[in-house]
Amino acid sequence: MKKTIADIDVQGKRILVRVDFNVPLDPDSGGVVDDTRIRAALPTIEYLRERGARLILCSHLGRPKGVNDSLRLAPVARRLSELLGSPVKMTDDSVGPQVEEAAQSLGPGEVLLLENLRFNHEEEANDPDFAWALASLAEVYVNDAFGTAHRAHASTAGVAAYLPAVAGFLMEKELTFLGKALASPDRPFAAVIGGAKISTKMGVLENLLEKVDRLLIGGGMACTFLKAQGFEVGQSLLEEEFVGTARQVMERASQRGLTLLLPSDVIVSNRFEADARRQQVSAKEIPADWQTMDIGEKTVKAFIDALRDCKTVLWNGPLGVIEFEAFSQGSHRLAEAIAGLDATTIVGGGETGAVLERLGLQDKFSHVSTGGGAALEFLEGRELPGVAALQDA
């Protein structure tokens, strides 16, 4: 495990906190559309403020190539100020004399938010001079941005070379839940893996095959497995080059004696649109000119039955085309079923987290990760640069 802010003396110190405030903004009003990631950082921010720390927060927003006025962090500062009930100061840049002066003049418990880190190309290049300029603003570095921990950037890895570096509470929570699921889960341990493409989940599947008792596969990627079983999948998304890989996954699951469930029936559509015709068919009988859009009724019941006695459930990736209401029912029903389990239930962020938010179920899960890409890489068993840079407990 890594040291956290609870393990060190933060009283009155200037602390550089890397947060993940990469939130959606309304293109018309400029306001924050979804403040989940801002609220997720509040326990760390409040803990430090209560101890008189002087907070210098830094984050990226979007993928600007240089300064982009539509990706400034001012709306984020306004929303954070509302949530904290006190002012949040802002700077026009993330380094430089104005930033240094603002950091030096902070009083106990005051909060400063630096401008979008990615306005400077040195951030993503992990430029040591840029990292040093950030580090020189503070006495301690705290990384609470799990969502960017898989990037070796100046603000996630570089600064740790110059300051004592520890985890915030959100980072600690992510590492605790995801780490325990991989290292010592309560069993039976099931993983539900969905999403469009098997190519993006191969590393996760290979790592989880050695750890889970049950593996449930849905979403578009299931079509590659159905093809590997010898079934035709019509116009469905198919990664032909991964059919052999899917076959190997099934063989390894069989060798290990773990339960591998694939869709036995699917909802198909004649076109990829919200109001398209739909019908339920056996996974063995997908019409040649139709495509799979969701899992079917028998599959939903089989998945729920397989999870009923599980003590750890990890879910990453939706089971259907969730942007269309008619084809999101499989994901919705599974979410409701998992929410009712007496188990440790973990969702790997991204689109799956959006399903829970739509249903108002986030609080019914043990942990909803804030890091889509970072969660995926962690579940693949890869070392995350932003985590590796922190001091060990």
On average, the pLDDT of the chain sits at: 96
Let me know if residue 211 belongs to a domain. Answer: yes
Give the confidence band of 201 by pLDDT, cuts at 50, 70, 90: very high
Our answer to whether residue 37 is catalytic in this structure is: yes
Average confidence (pLDDT) over 200-209:
93
Let me know if residue 384 belongs to a domain. Answer: no
Q: What is the residue type of 278?
A: R
Catalytic residue among 195, 330, 350, 371: 350
Pick from 150, 172, 194: which residue ends a domain?
A: 172
Average confidence (pLDDT) over 183-195:
96
Judge if 217 and 146 occupy the same domain. Answer: no
Pick from 172, 204, 226: which residue ends a domain?
A: 172
Average confidence (pLDDT) over 205-228:
96
pLDDT number for residue 372:
81
Judge if 152 and 293 occupy the same domain. Answer: no
Catalytic residue among 49, 51, 180, 197: 197
pLDDT at 373 over 90: no
pLDDT number for residue 351:
87
Our answer to whether residue 197 is catalytic in this structure is: yes
Query: Nearest-CA neighbor of 196 among 292, 55, 66?
Result: 292
Let me know if residue 106 belongs to a domain. Answer: yes
Judge if 16 and 137 occupy the same domain. Answer: yes
Judge if 155 and 205 occupy the same domain. Answer: no
Judge if 108 and 214 occupy the same domain. Answer: no
Least confident of 103-112, 221-230, 367-376: 367-376
Tokens of 313: 């459930």
Cα–Cα distance between 102 and 65 in angstroms, integer? 25
Q: What is the residue type of 385?
A: P
pLDDT more than 90, % of the chain: 95
Let me know if residue 281 belongs to a domain. Answer: yes
- 123: domain CATH number is 3.40.50.1260
Judge if 156 and 37 occupy the same domain. Answer: yes
Judge if 20 and 62 occupy the same domain. Answer: yes
pLDDT number for residue 151:
96
Catalytic residue among 18, 37, 151, 214: 37
pLDDT number for residue 371:
85
pLDDT tens, residue by residue, 233-262: 999 999 999 999 999 999 999 999 999 999
Let me know if residue 392 belongs to a domain. Answer: no
Judge if 209 and 137 occupy the same domain. Answer: no
Judge if 191 and 105 occupy the same domain. Answer: no
pLDDT at 315 over 90: yes
Our answer to whether residue 350 is catalytic in this structure is: yes
The position carrying tokens 């006695």 is: 309
pLDDT at 349 over 80: no
Boundaries of domain holding 334: 185-379
pLDDT number for residue 4:
98
Q: Would the pTM count as exceeding 0.85?
A: yes
Let me know if residue 327 belongs to a domain. Answer: yes
Let me know if residue 180 belongs to a domain. Answer: no
Cα–Cα distance between 261 and 264 in angstroms, integer? 9
Catalytic residue among 12, 203, 373, 381: 373
Pick from 116, 141, 172: which residue ends a domain?
A: 172
Let me know if residue 386 belongs to a domain. Answer: no
Average confidence (pLDDT) over 176-193:
96
Judge if 193 and 166 occupy the same domain. Answer: no
Judge if 161 and 197 occupy the same domain. Answer: no
Our answer to whether residue 373 is catalytic in this structure is: yes
Judge if 225 and 304 occupy the same domain. Answer: yes
How many domains are contained in the chain? 2
